[in-house]
Amino acid sequence: MKNKTSCRTIEILNLSDKELIDLSAKNVLSLSLDEMKSVQPYFRKLKRNPTDVEIETIAQTWSEHCKHKTLTGIIEYTEEKYSKKTKRTYNNLLKETVFKATMELNKKWCLSVFKDNAGIIEFDAKNGVAFKVETHNHPSALEPYGGSATGIGGVIRDILGVGLGAKPLANTDVFCFGNPDTKDSQVPEGMHHPKRIAKGVVAGVRDYGNRMGIPTVNGAVYFDDGYMANPLVYCGTMGIIPKNKIDKKVNSGDLILVVGGRTGRDGIHGATFSSIQLDQESDVSAVQIGNPIVEKKVLDTMLKARDLNLYRAVTDCGAGGLSSAIGELGEKTGAIVYLDKVPLKYDGLVPWEIWISEAQERMVFAVPPKNKKRIVELFKKENVEAVFVGEFTKDKKLTLKYNGHVVASMDMSFLHDGIPKPKRPAVCKIKEEKVQKPIKMTSADLSKTLKSALSDLNVCSKEWIIRQYDHEVQGQTIVKPLQGTDIEVSGPGDASVIFPYTSVNGTKKGVVLSNGLNPSYGKINTYKMAASAIEESLRNAVAVGADVEKMSLLDNFCWGNPNKPEILGSLVRAANACYDMSKAFDIPFISGKDSLHNEYSIGGKKYSIPPALLISAMGVIENAANTVTMPLKNDGNKIFVLGVTRNEIAGSVLAKIKNIKDGIVPVVYPKESKEVMKRIYKAINNGLIESCHDCSEGGLAVAISEMAFAGDKGVKVDIDAIRTKGKLSAAEILFSESNGRFIVEVIPENESKFREIFKSCVFAEVGCVTEDKYVIFESTKNKIKVKEKSRNLLKAWRNTISW
Amino acid sequence: MKKVKALILRTAGTNCDYETQAAFEMCSAVAERVHINSLIENKDKIFEYDILAFPGGFSYGDDIASGKVLANEIKNKLGDKIKKFSLSGKPVIGICNGFQVLVKMGLLPEPKLFEQVSTLSYNDSDKFECRWVYLKTEKKVKNESNCIWTKNLPDIITLPVAHGEGKFIPVNFKLLEELNKNNQIVFRYSTRNGAIPEYPLAPNGSVEQIAGICNTKGNIFGLMPHPERYMFALQHPAREGFDGEYGWGKIIFQNAVDFVK
C-alpha cells in the first residue's frame, strides 16, 4: 500500500441531483443536496473532480457535529399560543439567544467564552477554570462501554486542548436511559437492553475516568422509555489553567506535531454518522477505541511542555480527527500535511482514512521550528510518541500529500465558509396547562407515596454508580456527591466542591459543580423545562455554599430530528428560555454543545427522543471551607423552608406515581429566587446554616426525608406552616415541585440573625430535628400524620439500583 | 536543619502523585515526583532521598493484574537499589496501587525475601469501591508493632478507600500466622466499635480484614486506604478532624518524616 497514492477521484462534476444525493448516502457523507450542489461549482471552477480525500474532508468539516449547521442556519419560527400566531426568523439561533445573553451581560471574569474547546472563567488573580460538557450518544447506543469511555476521554481532551492546555480537576456525567426493568421482549430488535446499556456506560466512564486520575464528582441519571434505543451520555470535565496560557495563535511556519495515540481505522465517520438516525444496521466501526493510559501520559507531559513555552497552539483530535484539528488550527494560515508521516496502528489505511480517523488520545500542536528537538525529547522521556506531520503555511490552502503526491488541495475559505446556510421551518404550539383536580390522600397513602417517590428510578440513590467512580482522587473533593454525617449513611449531595490545594498553592478558594435536567417537564413545555433546569443547577450550587454572583452555565441540547418543524420549534422555545433566564439571573453561559438527530427507527417507524436540555453550572467559591452539606446535624435544631410552594404538579414524580395528567409545570420566578440565593450565601458565610438542601424531584417530602436519613436523624414537620400560594392539599404541598425552594437547618441561637437576613423573602419555620429518628409530616388542619422510621426511608431510597 | 527528602516514584498511569507530594510537604518534607525512566537512567539517585513512596493509580493501566507490570519493571531494572534502600531501614510506603506494587514485587511482607508471597486480588463485590471505612490499628497486648508509620494513632481511625483489587490473600496459613505473630498487620477493616465488619465496611473481602501490612522491621508499609486523602478535616465527609484541623493521614506521614529526623 505504502508505495501507491491510494487515492481515488470521485466523479461529481456531471452528476444529477439524484446522483449527488446517492453519492452522499453511499459514502456516509451526510451532506444534503444543497451542500453537494455547493461542492460541485467549486470543483467546476477548478476544472477537475475532487479526490476521495477532499470529499471526505468537506463532509467532516461541514458535519452537524463540527459545524452545528442546524442551529447556525436560518430558522423560520412560528409560535402558536391560544390560536394566536407570532413569527420570528433566526439567522443563527444560539447567537441570538444563549450567546447573546452572555455578550449583553459582559462579565469581566468571563475569560474565554464560546470560542475555544471549553469556556473559561476567572478563578483567582493568576488562574482560570475551564469547563466543558460533551455528548456521546450514538456511539454509546451501539457500544455502551467503548462509547462512554471515549466520550469521557474526548471531553478530557477538550480541557487539555483549551487555550494552551488546562489541568483536569474533575469530571461530571449525566445519563438518560430506558427503564432498566424493561422486559426483553419489549426491547426493539437489534438494540441493547437498557440495563445492559446503563451498566456498559457506567463501566466505560469508570474505567476511563478512574485511570485518568480525575475524580467523577457530579452527575445525574434519568430514566424514561423514550431513551430506550437512543440513550444520552453527557460527559464533562473541569480544569484549571494559568491566565497567561489562555491565548493561542498559530504562526505561518510553525510545525504540526501529532502527539499521543496512533491512528487506526476506528472511529471512521464518527462525525458524519452523528447526523444520521440509529437503526439496527448502524455501523459499530464508527465507535472509537479508547486507551486511557495513553491519554494520561499525554496529560503528564504536555503540561510540562506548556510551562516551558514549547508550543504556540494546541487542540484535540475529536470528531473529524486530524481533518478537523488541523483544519481548525490552520484556518487563518493554511497547512500542508504529509499523511504518510502519521504514525499508524497498523498498515493498510488509505489517505482519506488516515485524515478523518477519530482514533483516540491524539493532540495536535503548533510548534515553532526552534523548539523542534526539545519538545520531541520531552515527550520521548515518558514514552509518548510525537511526530511532525507537516507545517502551517501562509497560502491559506489545505494541501495534503501522500508519498510525494498531492491528494488534496483546497482553499481554507471554501472549507470553512463555503457551506450554504440551510433554512428550516420551526413551529411550536404552546399547550394550555390547567390545575389538576385537588389531590386528596390519606395518611397511609401519603406514607406509601413517599416511599414510592424515594425509590423512584429518577429519585433513588445512584450510589451503585457513584462508588464505582473514584470521586476522591486528587484529594480535593471537599463536598462529595454522597453525603452523610456518618460513613454508614448517605444522602444525595446537591453539588460538589473541588478545593484545588495541590494545583494552587495556598488557595482558600473552591470550584463548585452542579447540574439541572428534567425531561419530564419538556414533554409538556420545553421553555419551562429549560428555565427549571437552569434554576435547578443554580439551586444545587447555592445549597452547598456557592456565590450566585459568581456562577456560569453550560448548555447541552439533545434533541430529536430538527427537520421536523415541531421538534425544532420546541428547541427554539428552550433556547429562548436560556436567554431570558440568563438575563434575569444575571448569569452568563460560557460554553455549550448540541446533539441533534437523536432519532431511531423501529420496524420502519421513526421515533425522536424526549428533548433534554442539560444545564451544567460552575462557580468559584471565595472560601471553600464555608460550604455546607445536606445531612441534618443536631437534635433540637430548627427547620426552615425558604421560598413559596405553588400548586405545580405536572411533570412531577407524584404525577408519574399517581398517573395525574393535568397540572401546571413549575414556573421559574428569577427575581424571587435570586434574592433567596443571595441571602443563603450570606447566611452560610456568617455560619448561620448547619445544613441546606435544594428541593426538586419529589418536592419537600423527598428533600426533607433525604436530609433526615443522611444525618441519621429524625425530623418533625408541620405541613400547615409551609408557605403556599393559593390553597393546596397536604399531598400537593408535600410533592409539588415548585422552583426556588430550599430547606435549611438552623441552630436555635442563630435564629434571630437568620430571620434578619431573610426578612424580605418568603420563608417559614416548619419543624425541628428530633432524636427519635422518625420522619414525621403532620397537618392538624387536614388531620394528616405521616410517620416513618428514617432508616426505612433510607432503605427505600437505596434499594432500587443495586445491580 | 536539613530537610527530609521524599521520592515519589511515578510512571504511566500513576495518579495520586500530586496529593502524596502535598502530604509530605504538609509534614515539612521536600517531596519530588520522579518518573521511573529518569530513575532508571540514574539509579543511584535514589540514595539522595530519605523516604520512598509508591503512590496510587493504575500503573500501566493495571494490565495483566494491578501493579504487576510496574512491579516487574522495578524488580528487573532497579531491583538491587530498591532492596538496598529498603534494607537500610529508611521509610518506604506503598499506597493502593503502590501497595499492590510492593506486594507483587515481594518487598512486602519481607524485603530480605524479595519474592511475591501474597497478592491483592479482585474485590468480592467485583466492583471498584470508593468509600470511607473504619480501620482498627494494631495494638498488641504483648508488644507494639514495629511499624514506624502508624505510631500514635488511636485504636479506630477512618480513611477512604478507592480500588477494584484490594482483597489481600497470603500464600498460605503459615504466612498469615507469621504476619499476626510479628504484628505486621497494622490496619484491619472494622466497624466503628472495632468489631469484624460486613460489606460494605469490609470493602473487598480481605483475609482477616487486612487493610495494611508492614515488614518485620517496620519501615516498609503498604496499605489499600489513602492516607494522603485525609490530611485535613475539610477532606472528611463530615469534616471531622483531630485538633479540629487535621486528618489521620497527617500523623502517618509525619511519623515517617520525624523518624528520619
Contact at CB, A484 and B238, closer than 8 angstroms: yes
Confidence at residue A253, expressed as pLDDT on a 0 to 100 scale: 97
Report chain A residues whose CB lies below 8 A from the CB of B224.
Answer: none
Out of A211, A478, A501, the one facing B22 most closely (by C-beta) is: A501
Confidence at residue B141, expressed as pLDDT on a 0 to 100 scale: 47
Closest Cα of chain B to A633: distance in Å? Answer: 10
What does B87-149 look like in DSSP terms, one character per residue? HTT--EEEETHHHHHHHHHT-SS-TTT-S--EEEE--TTSS-EEEEEEEEEP--SSS----SS
Closest Cα of chain B to A786: distance in Å? Answer: 29
CA distances from A517 to A592, A593, A729, A731, B2 (A): 15, 15, 27, 24, 55
Report chain A residues whose CB lies below 8 A from the CB of B66.
Answer: none
Is residue A361 within 8 angstroms of chain B, CB to CB?
no
Residue of chain A whose alpha carbon sits nearest to that of B245: A625
Report chain A residues whose CB lies below 8 A from the CB of B21.
Answer: 502
Q: Judged by CB atoms within 8 Å, which residues 607-636 of A form the interface with B? A: 624-625, 629, 631
Contact at CB, B22 and A472, closer than 8 angstroms: no
Q: Show the cell assigned to A767.
A: 419543624
CATH number of this structure's domain B5-260: 3.40.50.880
CA distances from B145 to B89, B92, B114, B187, B259 (A): 15, 16, 21, 11, 15
Confidence at residue A285, expressed as pLDDT on a 0 to 100 scale: 64
3-state SS assignment for residue A282: coil
Confidence at residue B240, expressed as pLDDT on a 0 to 100 scale: 93
Is residue B35 flagged as an active site residue? no
Question: C-alpha angle A154/A158/A161, rounded to 5°?
Answer: 130
Spans of all domains in chain A: 628-803
The answer to whether A123 touches A620, Cβ cutoff 8 Å, is yes
Q: Cα–Cα distance between A94 and A69 in angstroms, integer?
A: 11
The model's pLDDT over B146-193, given as tens digits with 9 standing for 90+, comes to: 899 999 999 999 999 999 999 999 999 999 999 999 999 999 999 999
Out of B19, B61, B237, the one facing A474 most closely (by C-beta) is: B19
Confidence at residue A451, expressed as pLDDT on a 0 to 100 scale: 98
| Averaged confidence pLDDT in chain B | 95
With residues binned 3-state (H G I as helix, E B as strand, rest as coil), the percentages for chain A, rounded to 5, are 35, 25, 40
Out of A212, A484, A502, the one facing B19 most closely (by C-beta) is: A502
The answer to whether A523 touches A610, Cβ cutoff 8 Å, is yes
Report chain A residues whose CB lies below 8 A from the CB of B132.
Answer: 487
Q: Show the cell assigned to B224.
A: 489499600
Confidence at residue A68, expressed as pLDDT on a 0 to 100 scale: 85
Count of H-run helices and E-run strands, chain B: 6, 11
Closest Cα of chain B to A617: distance in Å? Answer: 22
Q: Prior bond to B91 cis, omega within 30? A: no
Confidence at residue A431, expressed as pLDDT on a 0 to 100 scale: 87
Contact at CB, B12 and A472, closer than 8 angstroms: no
Is residue B181 within 8 angstroms of chain A, CB to CB?
no
Residue of chain B whose alpha carbon sits nearest to that of A498: B235
Active site residues of A: 65, 136
Contact at CB, B37 and A291, closer than 8 angstroms: no
Count of H-run helices and E-run strands, chain A: 27, 33
Report chain B residues whose CB lies below 8 A from the CB of A631.
Answer: 238
CATH fit for domain A628-803, picks 3.40.109.10, 3.90.650.10, 3.90.1170.50, 3.30.1540.10: 3.90.650.10
Report chain B residues whose CB lies below 8 A from the CB of A202.
Answer: none
Residue recorded with cell 485504636: B155
Is residue A637 within 8 angstroms of chain B, CB to CB?
no
Q: Cα–Cα distance between A123 and A110 in angstroms, integer?
A: 10
Enter the pTM of the model.
Answer: 0.96
Strands (E), A412-548: 423-429, 477-479, 482-483, 491-492, 496-498, 510-516
Write the DSSP symbol of residue B242.
Answer: B
Contact at CB, B12 and A293, closer than 8 angstroms: yes
Residue of chain A whose alpha carbon sits nearest to that of B33: A300
First to last CA, chain A: 49
- Report H helices in A555-625: 565-585
The answer to whether B257 touches B4, Cβ cutoff 8 Å, is yes
Is residue A211 within 8 angstroms of chain B, CB to CB?
yes
A15 CB burial (10 A radius; 0-12, 13-18, 19+): middle
Residue A309 CB partners (closer than 8 Å, separation 6+): none
Mean pLDDT by 10 residues, chain A (803 residues): 68 92 88 92 95 93 85 94 92 95 97 96 98 93 91 96 98 96 90 94 95 97 94 97 97 97 84 65 69 96 97 94 94 97 94 93 97 98 97 97 95 93 94 93 97 97 96 97 91 98 96 97 97 98 97 97 95 98 98 92 86 98 97 97 97 96 96 97 98 97 98 97 96 98 98 97 97 96 96 96 88
Looking at this predicted complex, what is its ipTM? 0.96
Low-confidence ranges of chain B (pLDDT < 50): 141
Q: Cα–Cα distance between A713 and A723 in angstroms, integer?
A: 24
Is residue A360 within 8 angstroms of chain B, CB to CB?
no
A747 CB burial (10 A radius; 0-12, 13-18, 19+): middle
Is residue B56 within 8 angstroms of chain A, CB to CB?
yes
Exposure of A401 in the CB half-sphere (CA atoms within 13 A): 11
Q: Spot the catalytic one: B96, B110, B138, B147.
A: B96
Q: Give the A:B interface size as CB pairs under 8 Å.
A: 106
Residue recorded with cell 426511608: A793
| Cβ-based neighbour number of residue A687 at 10 Å | 12
What does A605-672 look like in DSSP terms, one character per residue? EEEEPPPEEEEEEEEEES-TTS---SS---TT-EEEEES-B----TTSHHHHHHT----PPPP--HHH
Is residue B250 within 8 angstroms of chain A, CB to CB?
no
Contact at CB, B56 and A291, closer than 8 angstroms: no
Spans of all domains in chain B: 5-260
Residue of chain B whose alpha carbon sits nearest to that of A300: B12
Confidence at residue B111, expressed as pLDDT on a 0 to 100 scale: 93
Closest Cα of chain A to B13: distance in Å? Answer: 6
